[in-house]
């Protein structure tokens, strides 16, 4: 009888410790950030020859789902060239915005949202450090009269 009791206690403790090490499912599904709007900033390549790309995100969020467009510009032979401009889709879980390219799969990222700032790691051809700021709370700025 002592052996059975010992096995039950060990099994219960194992189960409790396994549950405690995983993030709470509510934390994973709770949407605490709103990323709707126009975001601008930079994507920097962390190396000795750091290259900086200008980034513009136009996002519209509905619940945890996000759709939008990402444009990446960088120095080219004739000044600043658009290197990539693609539709993206993503999700918000807690304060994490994750996105990927809808078409070619060459854009992706996982950024932490803090109010009107977003930062994290993403891929634009290669892995880069993103730093963005919201400049408009709507996905498309109003046209000038």
pLDDT grade, residue 32 (50/70/90)? confident
pLDDT grade, residue 15 (50/70/90)? low
Domain that residue 114 falls in: 29-136
Q: What pLDDT score does 145 carry?
A: 43
Q: Return the CATH number at 102.
A: 2.40.128.120
pLDDT in tens, 61-99: 999 999 999 998 886 555 567 778 899 999 999 999 999
124 in a structural domain: yes
pTM, full prediction: 0.72
Domain count, the chain: 1
The more confident residue out of 102 and 119 is 119
pLDDT in tens, 43-71: 998 775 667 889 999 999 999 999 999 99
113 in a structural domain: yes
SS3 letters across 73-126:
EEEECCEEEEEEEEEEEEEEEECEEEEEECCCCCEEEEEEEECCEEEEEEEECE
């Amino acid at each position: 009888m002592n052996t059975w009791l010992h096995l039950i206690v060990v099994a219960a403790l194992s189960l409790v410790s396994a549950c405690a090490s995983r993030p709470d499912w509510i934390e994973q599904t709770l949407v605490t950030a709103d990323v709707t709007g126009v975001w601008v900033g930079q994507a920097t390549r962390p190396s000795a020859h750091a290259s900086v790309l200008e980034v513009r995100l136009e996002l519209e969020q509905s619940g945890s789902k996000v759709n939008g467009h990402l444009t990446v510009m960088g120095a080219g032979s004739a000044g600043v060239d658009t290197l990539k401009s693609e539709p993206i889709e993503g999700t918000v879980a807690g304060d994490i915005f994750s996105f990927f390219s809808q078409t070619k799969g060459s854009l992706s990222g996982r950024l932490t949202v803090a109010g009107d700032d977003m930062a994290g790691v993403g891929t634009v051809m290669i892995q880069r450090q993103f730093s963005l700021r919201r400049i408009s709370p709507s996905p498309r700025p109003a046209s000038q009269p």
